[in-house]
Structure 1
Amino acid sequence: MLIEGDTYPPPNLRALLAQIVSGLKFLLIIAIVSGFDPAATFNVNPPSLYYRALQNKFYVMLQLAYVIKVSACLMLFFVGNMIENQLLSTGAFEIFLNDVPVWSKLDVGRVPQPYELFEIIDSHLNFNRVPR
């Protein structure tokens, strides 16, 4: 008896968007860790808190800057993963028993209850059983 289950692939556009989100996520994390200054690059005035952090050289401010960098990187990583998973998730799946489709969420539109799945498999096995 061979039971196979597989997830349904997402549409190409959503897969492409997930790859773009992943790339942007890592680019932003690299920019934060490396200390990239977007204000100077794009000729924009940074917020006043930025200047206070640069002028104030106390140890506490340095620790705060480190904590903010770590927090920003973690937040980017987890939020980026959440967006990627949402884009790649279709929620659809199909179950095959000996290369015969047993259940398809695409056709039925819902997830089978465990007892339904057991009944379907049991009836399929009884149907294919050869009498002696």
Structure 2
Amino acid sequence: MGMCRKFLSFVEVLVGLHQIAGAFYDTALLMLVQERSGSNSTTTGSRDQQQGAISQFYVIYIPLLKVSSLPITYFLACQGDKKDRKITIWVPLVGYLVSRSLLLFDLPLQVMFATALLNDLSGDSAAFRAGVMAIASDTSSRVK
């Protein structure tokens, strides 16, 4: 029972760190898009152009980030059922780490679309959360 509590505590901390890192990434990505999407001039016309470029980026980025992970999540869940439940946690976390690390490099803004696809191809948060729930249900004891 003590080992179960230690593992669940580790998973809970991991989920919390994942959420915090995601919040920092989202803020940093918005700053990067704003910086690279136009001039920093204070005229109204250039602000409107910059806002349009930011909106256009997110109109493409968000669907890329959310749509394509479902087949991979299903595949990872099947592999987790057959082999090891941890697959559904570690594969998305490695993909998340690699895709988010690309923000640190001075790459063109269009590369951020590739980071969304890379994140999706590793299962994204759908596989991660499903893996956490599967491990939690496997390791918990039934309370009567």
TM over 0.5: no
Structure having the larger proportion of residues in strand: 1
Q: What TM bracket, shorter-length normalisation?
A: 0.3 to 0.5
Relative contact order (C-alpha < 8 Å, sep 6+): which is higher? Answer: 1
TM-score (norm 2): 0.33
TM-score (structure 1 length as normaliser)? 0.35
